[in-house]
Amino acid sequence: MSMGDERGGGKSGLWVFVCGPSGVGKDSVINWAAQQLASRREIVFSRRLVTRPSFPGSDHEEVSRQQLARKLGSGGLVWCWEANGLHYGIEAHYAAQVNAGCVVVVNGSREHASGLHAVAQVRVVHVVAEPGKLAARLEQRGREAPQEVARRLARNALFPDLQADCTIVNEGALQDAGQALADYLVASAG
């Protein structure tokens, strides 16, 4: 769901939704690219609001469902969605950066991104890895019980043909996938 009209005058920027299945290493790929592009003011990495507890190093701000609903109702969110039983939001102030010509990177959901190709200022990056690697990574991170890991892996069948502007395979060195994302973002900011 998108809120508001991201189209503004002057040079128009882009939203880049980086999506992928649980265990693909999407957070690590995004963080690697963010570190490499820290000096690029025209590339902004958004922080999500998530109805999940945060921990040191989290890429999100913890909010309750009620707080998220209030922000949505008051126009404080430009994007919001639900995935894996959690609710996510991107604050509206990022839309001003897109309107100013920036590329704003969103750690997104495949389900939400699958309906965004009709929005002119949106690009989708799909991070992928083979199923065996996904299962091993989910078990390694230890955040979910075994039945939750199985549910997350089964969810992958719902998105066999996600339309993406860029697909990044994250099966080797993190720097390879991270550099591929950084290169795509720099080209998009061009």
Q: Closest Cα partner for 125 from 43, 53, 63?
A: 43
Separation CA 69–CA 160 (nearest Å): 31
What pLDDT, on a 0 to 100 scale, did the predictor assign at position 57? Answer: 65
Write the CA distances from 112 to 31, 63, 107, integer angstroms: 21, 19, 11
Separation CA 61–CA 46 (nearest Å): 11
**Region of residue 165 (phi > 0: left; psi between -120 and 50: alpha; otherwise: beta):** alpha
What pLDDT, on a 0 to 100 scale, did the predictor assign at position 3? Answer: 37
pTM, two decimal places: 0.85
CATH of domain 14-189: 3.40.50.300
What pLDDT, on a 0 to 100 scale, did the predictor assign at position 56? Answer: 66
Asked if 63 and 121 touch (Cβ cutoff 8 Å), the reply is no
User: Average pLDDT per run of 10 along the chain, which is 190 residues long?
Assistant: 39 90 91 97 95 74 91 94 89 95 95 80 93 83 78 76 90 96 96
Separation CA 43–CA 16 (nearest Å): 10
Measured between alpha carbons, how far apart are the two ends of the chain, in Å?
A: 28
What pLDDT, on a 0 to 100 scale, did the predictor assign at position 141? Answer: 77
What pLDDT, on a 0 to 100 scale, did the predictor assign at position 6? Answer: 36
Put the strands of the sheet holding 103-107 in their side by side order: 43-45, 103-107, 14-19, 122-128, 166-169
Q: Taking CA 168 as the corner, what is the angle to CA 164 and CA 174, rounded to the nearest 5 degrees?
A: 150
